[in-house]
Structure 1
Amino acid sequence: MPGGRITDEDIQKVRDASDIVAVFSERVPVKQRGRDFWCCCPFHNEKSPSCKIDPALQLWHCFGCGEGGDVFAFIMKAEDLSFPEAVHRLAERAHIDIVEVGGKPTAPASKKARLKDICKATAEFYHLQLMRLKSPEASAAREYLSGRNLGGKVPHDWNLGFAPGRGVLTRHLSSKGFKADEMVEANVCSRDSQGKLRDRFYNRIMFPINDVTGDCIAFGGRVVGKGEPKYLNSQETPLFHKSQVLYGLDKAKVAMASSGVAIVCEGYTDVIALHEGGVRNAVATLGTALTMRHIRILGRHAQKKIVYLFDGDAAGQKAADRALEFIDSSMTPEAGKTRIELCAVTLPDNLDPAEYMASHSAAELEELIEHAQPLLKYGIDRRLAAHDLSSAEGRSAALASALSVLAPIKDSLLAKDYAIQIAGRTRAREEDVLEALSKLAPPVRYGEASAEEAAAQAPVPAQGPARRALSKTELNRLRLERELLSVLAQNPLIALAHADSLAQTKWHDPLHSAIASSILDTLMSDPAASAAAIVSNAAAVDGRAGRVLTAGGSSTETASPEEVARFLAEELAIGDAEDAIEELRCQLANESLKGTEEYDFLFQATTALQKELLEKRLAHKPVAHEGRL
């Protein structure tokens, strides 16, 4: 993980190498309209394109959900990354090496690209072995896949393979020029106790694991016949971190975005069976329970809900119990827009997803998914069902067990509502159950993000107290402020000419004031800064800046950016003058000041400001700007 400070030079180098249209095109289809490109927003479910990509400014904005920013902001939101992680991600894409200042050394982009080349060559080799190798073991692998309805085109579509072992892969990769240390670091080979190089995977059906863009970064292998472990995954590498990767996400992300739903299951074959059966929004964890990082990543692609699909057998039900560990405040109504709807459903008849799809249609599974229960209700029902509610002892045990599910959210209204339901089902007094709820200790969780990571991932709090209902005049003022900041951020040379306006305007929104200061700071340090750099720097100050600065500001056929900026700056200056005069009039209304020198001074100042305001109004010329000004 990135740990130091990335230099401004490296950030600019990565930005210059990352064309925003190309980066978008790797994730969603884009179409050119005039000078701009448009696409359906990958961050919310929509049928008509409302996301604009400006190739000249290297900025994007969705007019549906309001998100926007530069290429770094897009990668941060698309892959749930911090800013340094996004810079590293795009650096890898462009094969740019980054040297961090004051942090732990990280694998350079050139090394990661090399490791990806090894993984790609390994996947191709394994696939060839599965399709062509004439050996009893390879035949058994093909028979297993065929018996699981994973034959035909499936091995080709999912690049499935077979690992024969016995050093065959080691020799193959060596012949292609890869070094022993590189193979070990990619974890496709390892060294024995004598230091001899050997294949990591032996006599296994191989499932290449891809990152979100579709590049192979690791492998999972299922043993053919009997053997332990049944499934073997790659170890952690500079490319692969299992708590951050989901099998099949590269293929599922489009269906997730269009449906708004993500389905999480347990194994590779389950994911493939679901996709091949027409359910293409499914992914699987990789030898680990679902983590909060997984949930955040899925939440970026699936805006409606995440459904954990459990097998009906004992192992599936054990996984269901583990999932209850992820109940937290993000699942309550109090979380507002950041709420995560995590649901669960158990397949009937002790079937796993692959077995279910062999005898049921996609429509039948989608019906189950549609009626998946919220994880809270699912967990509570499971806990209650595990006890005999006909006896006092059973009801007491059921009450304690079900109530413990609510411990992470015990102070929420949702928890109190569920507690009352539990009281009714266990014949307990509501007052007693609510008191027991209040005394529950929140769970201690291990393996969560560090304090620094948590702070970086936390939503930016709103500045200042909750806003009152605003008048039409004030709403118009705030709109004008946003328009000026937007047009200046997108036109740096014009922003330089209006530096006085940025510094002198009495911004009515603290966010706008912070953005104006950021624009000035950026231009002072680099008068040649690009629009993307200005937006990126402002977003680093406040995460909401990107959507403000990309929402407007582009020139039109009827008005140039210079004209628009001039008009907006004058409008705001007139508004500031009106506010100043009104404030002076309020002071003049104080009866105790009449006849004093202070009153005379205030009166003269008011008269001078009124004259100045009149001059401003006479000089102010309207401009046509998208029909709004």
Structure 2
Amino acid sequence: MPFYSEELIEEVRSANDIVDVISGYVRLQKKGSTHFGLCPFHNERTPSFSVSQGKQMYYCFGCGAGGNVITFLMQYENATFQEAMETLAGKAGIELPKQELSGRARQEADRRARLLEINKVAAKYFYAQLRMEQGKTGMNYFTGRGLSGDIMKKFGLGYANKFSDDLYQYLRQQGYEDSLLKDSGLVSIDEKRGGQDKFWNRVMFPIMDVNHRVIGFGGRVMGKGEPKYLNSPETMIFDKSRNLYGLNLARASKRPYILLCEGYMDVIALHQAGFDNAVASLGTAFTLGHANLLKRYTKEVYCTFDSDGAGIKAALRAVPILKEAGITAKIVDMKPYKDPDEFIKALGAEAYQQRIDSAKNSFMFEIEVLEQNYDLKDPEGKTSFYNAVAEKLLEFEEELERNNYIEAIAEKYQTGFENLRKLVLHMGTRVGIARETRPLKSGINEKHKKPGEDGMKQSQKLMLTWLLEEPELFRLTEPYIGPEDFTEELYRKAAEAVYAQYREEGEVNPARIISMFDEEEQQQEIAGLFHARLEKITTQSEREKALKETVIRLKENSISYRSRHLDPSDMEGLQRLVADKKNMQQLRMAEFSWQT
């Protein structure tokens, strides 16, 4: 990715007013100094999505999405930072510098570009073949499967005819040399037979990356022949474990979840029925690479695999992988039909949507599959089943989450909650995985310590928002607190930028601070820092009291934190701690009086 200086990033960002840009995607209504609209990142009926012209930031109080104009394009368009910069620079008429590459890197980049070019040429050739006389077999197959001309065009479907060197000869005529054609995965080169096509007598499915570039192909044989489905081999531009069929289209869907299928035709049938959020793995098992790719675009995946034994096994493999990536998984039940294509042909899109709406929780689906291994009418079988369930429930480390699932299972199988909970705890103690939590002598459980920490984080967040909303508070609080008193690492970095901007420029530019952070999650959290909800306090004395309490909390926490982490040999740090402790009395006596 090209390196852009902070100055250039700020030039591009400040040249694009955030209200103007977001208004092109979201209908906004001005209320006071802020614009509000329905959040484009989650479903809602009451607008909680705010866009501040003054701060040049957006923030959703419903789902927590937030950032500056660059972040918005990255989140809404699922664009990379570079792509967002290029779009915004183009809008503003700003020319971005081109990246300088080493000789070897330039050669690799050129070869990648030529391989992409070959794939594009091949895709156009297959596309044309399908619509010619020699492609009649392929066209009959697609129309027989109920595909419209528009959907065939949308997915660029094609046909590789019956001659096994047809594409090779065509690409040679276009000037591509054998070594490059071999690397493309479209052709094999044999000394005796010459060039031979990888695909022939097959209907063709171009595989595109998220930027709509053709990186490989899938082909289904016409008539008898093995294998039934054939994919391009892995190449410099095609990695099966890091790409998903249809994701180039599904990533732009406004639906808040992704439908994960098994095959090309399922994806195409779903898109044709209006489900533009369907994707499939590329003839390989679902991997963590696939899950991490999906995480860029969604937090929820609905597995809509075949309803046969192989499909159930595929779902059981995919669920833990999705969970590991931090994605919520649900299972769509299509029985008595085999797959989404067959289901929609039989019952239609509305019925399929109903199946999505009633999709099973992935853990409950696993329990239902597990149930099939036991005879619940037999007492011994029933006991074995509950023992197996108890062992699975130990996968949940959080007691609250585990208890929620114990309750759900107890209700479904009509067994007592307390009996099942005790079995889980007994099982956990026996295998050394879980222990029943006991209160400490103080009466506070270990797990309850975190809310206290969260409370301090909230105080630090509140202080940053307050400083941003009312710059006068810098003058009042600076004798007592500074960036070093924000003990959360991310908050401290933000505070350092806030204080530096105020000291150097006399004002704070929060949108510029967001650009200092590379990770989208960090940008979102920083946006949240500047949007803590300030309590509506009616009297001046209450405002002053609230501010003073917040400053005291921050300082006491800072002293405690530094005391715990102080190096005994750090005499300067020790002296600062002693001075700060002495100044706490002065802080408690201080008056924070200001007018807004």
TM over 0.5: yes
Q: Distance in 2 between matches of 1:123 and 1:144?
A: 18
CA deviation string 1:495-545 (max 9, x = no partner): xxx9999999635754654213246789999xxxx9866432246695555
Deviations 1:199-251 (A, max 9, x none): 33222211122233433333222122222222222333444433333322333
Contact in 2 for aligned 1:384/1:401 (Cα 8 Å): no
Q: What displacement does 1:369 show? A: 1.2
Q: Secondary structure at the match of 1:264?
A: strand
Shift of 1:147: 1.8
Counterpart of 2:482, as a letter, is K
Q: Which residue of 2 aligns with 1:325?
A: 320
Residue pairs, 1:549-628, within 5 angstroms: none
Contact 2:330 2:359 (C-alpha < 8 Å) held by counterparts: yes
Distance (whole Å) between structure 2 residues aligned to residue 79 and residue 192 of structure 1:
44
Aligned twin of 2:142? 145
- Deviation string 1:353-386 (CA, Å, 9 cap, x unpaired) is 1111111111111111111110100110111023
Alpha-carbon distance change, 378 to 159 in structure 1, aligned in 2, over 3 angstroms: same
The RMSD of aligned alpha carbons is 5.5
Give, in whole Å, the separation in 2 of the partners of 1:470 and 1:57. 21
Partner of 1:589: none
Aligned to 2:284: 288
Pairing 1:210-609 to 2, within 5 Å after superposition: 210-255=208-253, 257-258=254-255, 260-298=256-294, 301-302=297-298, 305-326=300-321, 328=323, 340-392=327-379, 394-395=381-382, 398-399=385-386, 401-403=388-390, 405-406=392-393, 408-409=395-396, 412-416=399-403, 418=405, 421=409, 425=413, 430=420, 431-437=422-428, 465-467=453-455, 477-483=463-469, 506=482, 509-510=486-487, 512-518=491-497, 534-538=513-517, 543-544=523-524, 546-548=526-528
Letter in 2 for 1:233: N
CA offsets 1:585-607 (integer angstroms, 9 cap, x no match): xxxxxxxxxxxxxxxxx99x979
Do residues 127 (structure 1) and 127 (structure 2) align? yes
Q: Report if aligned partners of 2:165, 2:197 keep a CA contact under 8 Å in 1.
A: yes
- Structure 1 distance, partners of 2:52, 2:36, is 9
How far apart are residue 155 of structure 1 and its match?
1.6
Answer with 281-290 or 87-96: which moved more.
Answer: 87-96
Q: CA deviation at 1:387?
A: 2.5
Q: Which one-letter code corresponds to 1:148 in the other structure?
A: R
Identify the residue that residue 188 of structure 1 maps to in structure 2.
186
Matched-pair contact (CA < 8 Å) for 1:210–1:250: yes
C-alpha separation between the residues in 1 aligned to 2:178 and 2:464?
61
- SS of the equivalent of 2:374 reads coil
**Preserved CA contact (<8 Å) 1:327 1:376:** no
1:159–1:475 distance in 2 versus 1, CA, 3 Å? closer
Given that 2:465 and 2:530 are in contact with CA atoms closer than 8 Å, whether structure 1 keeps it comes out as: no
The 1-side partners of 2:83 and 2:167 are apart by 29
- 8 Å contact kept, 2:319–2:362: yes
**Whole-Å separation in 2 of the counterparts to 1:606 and 1:504:** 9
Deviation (angstroms), 1:17: 8.3
2-side partners of 1:405 and 1:345: how far apart? 22
Q: What are the within-5 Å matches in structure 2 for residues 98-113 of structure 1?
A: 98=99, 112-113=112-113
- Structure 1 residues 308 and 161: CA distance shift in structure 2, 3 A: same
- Structure 1 residues 288 and 329: CA distance shift in structure 2, 3 A: closer
Distance in 2, Cα, partners of 1:20 & 1:323: 41
Cα offset, 1:61, TM superposition: 5.0
Matched residue type, 1:482: L
Q: Is the 8 A contact 2:207 2:215 kept in 1?
A: yes
Q: 1:27 to 1:55 in 2, by over 3 A?
A: closer
In structure 2, which of residues 134, 158, 162 is the aligned counterpart of residue 161 of structure 1? 158
Give the Cα separation in 2 of the matches to 1:13 and 1:113.
27
CA distance in 2, matches of 1:408, 1:122: 48
| Counterpart AA for 1:235 | P
Query: Cα gap change, 1:188/1:91 in structure 2, threshold over 3 Å: closer, same or farther?
Result: farther
Supply the AA of the counterpart residue of 1:547: A
Measured after TM superposition, the shift of residue 410 of structure 1 is 5.4
1:110 is displaced (CA, Å) by: 5.8
Q: 1:283 to 1:502 in 2, by over 3 A?
A: farther
Q: Which stretches in structure 2 are left out of the alignment for 5+ residues?
A: 91-95, 434-449, 533-542, 556-581
Identity %: 27
SS in 2 for 1:145: helix
Q: CA deviation at 1:125?
A: 1.5
SS of the aligned residue for 1:348 comes to coil
3-state SS of the aligned residue for 1:201? coil
Q: Deviations over 1:292-321 (max 9, x none)?
A: 454455455445x42111322232223233
Distance in 1 between residues matched to 2:369 and 2:278, nearest whole Å: 24
Letter in 2 for 1:126: F
Tell which deviates more after alignment, 277-286 or 38-47.
38-47
Q: Look up the equivalent residue of 1:481 and give its one-letter code.
A: L
- AA paired with 2:454? A
| Equivalent residue number for residue 457 of structure 1 | none
Q: Give the stretch that moved more between structures: 105-114 or 431-440.
A: 105-114
Tell me the equivalent position of 2:202. Answer: 204
Range with bigger deviation, 307-316 or 58-67: 58-67
Letter in 2 for 1:516: A
Distance 2:200 2:397 in 1: 49
The 1:46–1:208 alpha-carbon spacing in structure 2 relative to 1, beyond 3 Å, is: farther
Tell me the secondary structure at the aligned position of residue 214 of structure 1: coil
Distance 1:71 1:239 in 2: 31
Indicate if the aligned counterparts of 2:391 and 2:424 stay in contact, CA closer than 8 A.
no
Instruction: Check the 8 A contact 1:60/1:550 in 2, yes or no.
Output: no
Structure 1 residue aligned with 2:559 = none
Letter in 1 for 2:426: E
Give 2:43's aligned amino acid.
N
Deviations 1:468-515 (A, max 9, x none): 6989xx997543223379x9xxxxxxxxxx999999963575465421
Q: 1:276 to 1:424 in 2, by over 3 A?
A: closer
CA distance in 1, matches of 2:73, 2:432: 38
Kept in 2: contact 1:190–1:198 (CA 8 A) = yes
Q: Relative to structure 1, is the Cα distance of residues 159 and 368 closer, same or farther in structure 2, using a 3 angstrom cutoff? A: same
Structure 1 residues 183 and 328 mapped into 2: Cα distance closer, same or farther (>3 Å)?
A: same
Shift of the 77–150 alpha-carbon distance from structure 1 to 2, 3 Å rule, reads same
Partners of 1:207 and 1:33 lie apart in 2 by 44
> Greater shift after overlay, 187-196 or 420-429?
420-429
Contact 1:116/1:217 (<8 A) preserved = yes
Structure 1 counterpart SS, 2:515 = helix
Report the Cα distance in structure 2 between the residues aligned to 1:117 and 1:524, rounded to whole angstroms: 53
